[in-house]
Amino acid sequence: MAEKEQVRIDLDGKASTDYETVLIPEDSYDAEITAINQRESPNYDNPKIKETKMVFSCLIDGKELLFWANPKITKGSTSKSGKSYSNSKLFDVLEKAGLLGKVGEKKAELATLDGLQHFLSENLVGRKARCVVKTRNKGGGEKEYSSISEILRFLESSDSTVEVDKKDHTSTT
């Protein structure tokens, strides 16, 4: 019998909109990923249903913007009937970060939301990326805000030749 996916329990009861709204011009920017968390969000087809999303907190010019992604890693395909399916957002992010090989190695660990969050945090927090910023709720006055719609590329390689020991911050080669 397949093990059910673990569910994160939020005892604080914070709504998914408990963050400061920021509005900056639409463009592409360099950003640093500072945290990756799980957050509940309403399903757009049925707002009564809550879905857990992975939320990347990114700093752009000292302002925190968010990048939302469903917790799935799937490659796009074409069905027998000819319908095309796109890659998931996380698949694209991990491909651009050069981490798809690690995903294959740690597939069992990534089967839970907590395991996926840990993997993403361990491998992406602190990295810099070029991101596309879009305005949400355009024409909505005070309801307008900016968020990251896409991570275009990472600005440094995940396979650097110099590694830093996180315990004592010494470099090794």
SS (H, E, C) the chain: CCCCCCCCCCCCCCCCCCCCCCCCCCEEEEEEEEEEEEEEEECCCCCCCEEEEEEEEEEECCEEEEEEECCCCCCCEECCCCCEECCCHHHHHHHHCCCHHHHHHCCCHHHCHHHHHHHHHHHHCCCEEEEEEEEECCCCHHHCEEEEEEEEEECCCCCCCCEECCCCCCEEC
Q: What is the pTM of this model?
A: 0.76
Tens-place pLDDT, residues 24-44: 999 999 999 999 999 998 887
| Sequence-separated (6 or more) residues with CB below 8 Å from residue 31 | 58, 59, 60, 65, 128, 129, 130, 131, 148
The whole-angstrom separation of Cα 68 and Cα 44 is 14
**Non-local CB neighbours of 137 within 8 Å, separated by 6+ positions:** 143, 144, 145
Per-residue model confidence as pLDDT tens digits over 115-150: 999 999 999 999 999 999 999 998 888 889 999 999
What are the tens digits of pLDDT across the range 59-109?
A: 999 999 999 999 999 999 988 888 899 999 999 999 999 999 999 899 899
